[in-house]
Structure 1
Amino acid sequence: MAIKADMGDERSITAMVDQVADIFGRIDVVVNNAAINLRGSIYDFNPEHWDKMMAVNLRGPALLCQKVAPHWIKQQSGRVINIVSRCWVAGGPPAYVACKAGLVGLTRSMARELAPHNVTVNAIAPGLLPSAFTLEGRNPQDFDHMAEGAINVTPLKRLTRPEDVANTTSFLASTDSAFITAEVIHVCGGSQLAPFGTR
């Protein structure tokens, strides 16, 4: 079931959680995948853009988990999967990287706090994945150049595919991962070992 919500707005998040709980009676898995990227360098970033990205990309996931936590406490079970990016270790657009690095820190903090209720919290850090999100604001030539660079620094010599992320998400949401928490799984063919391009 699709529900429209604004991850930058606490009231919208609360309404979404309440609606899901009313319909299904429980909440088992939260995947924090919503994000925006208003690109800018440290020389020219827009403070309003910075604040908006932090609200959606970092505060939103924290608030969503806060609103769902009472359900996990009641159930004594749950899963959180935060989608970050390999840029959290390699660098890139400062505001976006700060959000994703912050989400890694949030992952580890929530893993400790929620563990007594049998809730695991992990993060997935994909490499470059062609999508509307990564193509937005870039012309095809620039993206092709960036993709070529990404493949060059990836030991497994290809870009990330949607199914790579989906399969890892399914694993972390399943009982097969019951004893894994506070981890960051890089789904990027080994490219976390290389510096991140700036284009």
Structure 2
Amino acid sequence: MSTETAGRVALVTGGSGGIGAAVVRRLAADGYSVGVHYARNSAKAQSIVADVAAAGGQGLAVGGDVGNEADMAAAFEAVEAAFGGIDVVVNTAGIMIIAPIAELNLADLDRMHHTNIRGTFVVSQQAARRVRPGGAVINFSTTVRRTQYPGYGAYVASKAAVEGMTLILARELRGRDVTVNAVAPGPTATALFLDGKDEDTVRRLAEAPPLQRLGQPGDIAETVAFLAGPGRWVNGQVLYANGGLA
């Protein structure tokens, strides 16, 4: 446990699975009390809270739609009531639907807009109002914004919007001693990434980075832990955690 981060409080949206769950466990290991947000899977969130408690930490499961202001205000308030405030907000919640731009169902575009853009905005808005001095807001983009693989147009558009609002929020919080950054993972072995891909596609993507493997959720969680804790001089940036892919 880090003496610099012990006693701090984090809220992780999308904390019930994939990268979010790894972030929860990593921050809890550093001494954070952690709000574990879920959209639908309450049982999974409660299981992660139980894991945190078994390791000697404190966690709280909070539900809601990240794109719904009332839901997110309630989630923030629940974490503040349980632990006394919020120092770090990590917004991992997101959905990815892949299709060529000419073929994408516009209902899927709206779903990604709601979660990835509106959701990030709503959560960032709550964070801007509530995070204590010395804190951090960490949003999520994607390496595909630079690699520009076909089929990812709508997803990348949503994450480009996330980057834009993240970098502006960093400037808007001047004088608050709160950093705002985004993490842009490369191919990472999560259900979100693996869903719908055949073995050849996964193997090709795993071999693309110079380190010649897929990222693991723990790799991304280490980047988040740096930004949440010791990385105080990193602000208004997008950090690419991708093994050197691009």
Pair in the same fold by TM > 0.5: yes
Structure 1 length as normaliser, TM-score?
0.87
Task: Name 1:177's counterpart in structure 2.
Answer: 231
1:24-58 residue CA offsets vs partner (Å, 9 max, x unmatched): 22111111100111222111111121111111011
Question: 2:117 is matched with which residue: 52, 58, 62?
Answer: 58
One-letter amino acid of the structure 2 residue matched with residue 87 of structure 1: V
Stretches of 4+ aligned residues off by more than 3 angstroms: none
Matches within 5 A, 1:15-164: 15-72=74-131, 75-92=132-149, 93-138=152-197, 142=198, 144-164=199-219
Greater RCO, 1 or 2 (C-alpha within 8 Å, sep 6+): 1
Counterpart position of 1:196: none
Q: Percent identity?
A: 36
Moved more, 120-129 or 144-153: 144-153
Q: Distance in 2 between matches of 1:67 and 1:151?
A: 36
Provide TM-score, normalisation by structure 2: 0.71
Measured in 2, the distance between the counterparts of 1:164 and 1:51 equals 30
C-alpha offsets along residues 112-157 of structure 1, whole Å, 9 cap, x if unaligned?
Answer: 111321110111111111221112234xxx1x22222223321121
Deviation, 1:3, is: 1.0
Please provide the CA RMSD for this pair: 1.5
| Structure 2 unaligned spans of 5+ | 1-59
Give 1:70 shift: 2.4
C-alpha contact (below 8 Å) 1:8/1:52 kept by paired residues:
no
Per the alignment, residue 240 of structure 2 pairs with 186
In 1, the alpha carbon distance for the partners of 2:142 and 2:127 equals 24
Corresponding residue for residue 5 of structure 2: none
Q: Is this contact kept in 1: 2:209–2:244, CA < 8 A? A: yes
Point out the structure with the larger helix share: 1
Q: Tell me the amino acid that sits aligned with residue 64 of structure 2.
A: A
Deviation at 1:63, TM superposition (A): 1.0
Indicate the residue corresponding to 1:5 in structure 2. 64
